[in-house]
Amino acid sequence: MYAKSPALPETIKVQSDNGSLRLQFSTKYNPIFGGKRKHQGLGMKDTPENQQKAIAIAWRIEGDLQHPDWQQLFDPTFAKYGLKTKYTAELKLAAPIPEPEPEITVGAMWEDYLEWKRPQVQPTTFNHFCKKLTNIIKGLVWNKQKQTMISFPCSVWDLPISTGIVDILLSSPFEEDSKRRTLVALSEAFVRLQSQGKTKLTINPFVMPVSIIKNKTDKYKSQVSADGTVDLRWWDTETDPEERDRRAFTKEERDIIIEAFYKHKNPSPRRLAPLIEFRFLTGCRNGEAFALEWKDVFLGRDKDYIRFSKSYNGMLKNTQVTKTGEARLFKIYPKLNDLLLRIKPDNAKPTDLVFTKLNGKHWDSNAIAKLWLSYDCKRNGVECSYPGVVTQLAEEGKISCYLPFYACRHTFITLQAQSGTDLLLLATICGNSVEVIQRHYLGIDTTVQVTDI
């Protein structure tokens, strides 16, 4: 019975024999082993973790046997591959084989890559690399019930970089997009490693096969079952995540949401209400609203604009530059002016935050999600979940559907564009390009009909 494995070499198979793992060599290698079919025990119990180790050994051996200089590279004693056999000592004495330098592991390459990558990207992006992609490489996933990380038998962290990493990662249970992003980053890490002369590999082992690279036209393909039956035509399939991101609230729904926060029975949603209204009226990014100080708001006859020059990261607890790295000015219009005058304290200092939680500290995305989406907690040892303001509005049918907090930005851009605001002006005040607005932010006005031509 063959051990289940996500990726095996072509000419060496990993087998389970009475609960122990062994390697079976293809008949093409019979001449090397005295004309007989070769089996090599590994001295390992048949477990998912040991299967991964066995795969790594099989790949190393096959790599040596397939090499043009295989006679110099292949070690018939198997000591080179970390195995001990009864013939090891005498064969080594008869034909000593120099111990090769150990190949760098995926984990070591990744850690070196992260140190190089750190100063090149925003702290938020780097945090994504450190946590999400690193966890995929380590085979770790967060278990919400146990509130801890659990390990899957698909870790490639300790494997040599030539150990069929692509096949192992692609067969792992993580989301497809996350696995592809991980492989793209690993590919970049390898190119850097190769440029430094730290590997003898000449071919990038992290390049995904063309057959599994996501094609932009895939969304137009029908879903076909194993027997060839068409289950869903492309027009019936679920929309792409980026297309879902284009959705926005209507003007009426926007006003219903704002009013619901202002009139909520609890103080925290009421405290959040001005920030919600501000984002709906400016389309600024979350962190830009969190970091806004009164010295950035210019109210008066000669100056009536807001300066967005920084962003607060709630995960890292620090203030950094905006996503584009540039400051921009936002012209204050009457409705926005009314909001700012209404919420500005008489004794406001220039360095005071415009929007704060009840404790006077920065708002952050996690705190807002509890009020917007839902709040999980334990009551008498029982897990409880309470709907957020927008979730409840959607459940009660007061708005057409639930959309996440970032839809405030989509809503502002969509309503402004539908009202005739120039897209170049809109892109400038929102810190984007016209192309990005058209591709990712601009929702569709379903009330507008095609012109009768």
Position 224 scores a pLDDT of: 47
User: Which class is domain 106-212?
Assistant: mainly alpha
Position 358 scores a pLDDT of: 94
Q: Write down the domain spans for the chain.
A: 12-94, 106-212, 251-441
Is 131 strand, coil or helix? helix
Position 448 scores a pLDDT of: 58
- Note the Cα 220 to chain centre separation in Å: 24
In the chain (453 residues long), the average pLDDT of successive 10-residue segments reads 50 85 83 77 85 85 80 80 60 46 87 85 73 89 76 86 86 84 88 86 80 47 47 40 66 96 95 97 93 92 86 82 85 93 93 95 91 80 82 93 91 89 88 80 61 63
Tell me the C-alpha distance between 323 and 331, whole Å.
20
- According to DSSP, residue 83 is labeled -
Residue corresponding to tokens 């696995």: 179
Fold of 251-441: hpI Integrase; Chain A (1.10.443)
Report DSSP letters for 385-448, one per residue. Answer: EEE-HHHHHHHTTSSSS---TTHHHHHHHHHHHHTT--HHHHHHHHTS-HHHIIIII----TT-
Position 19 scores a pLDDT of: 84
As given in the structure block, the two tokens for residue 267 are 């103080």
Position 443 scores a pLDDT of: 60
Pairing of strands 20-25, 39-45: antiparallel
Residue corresponding to tokens 């409705």: 335
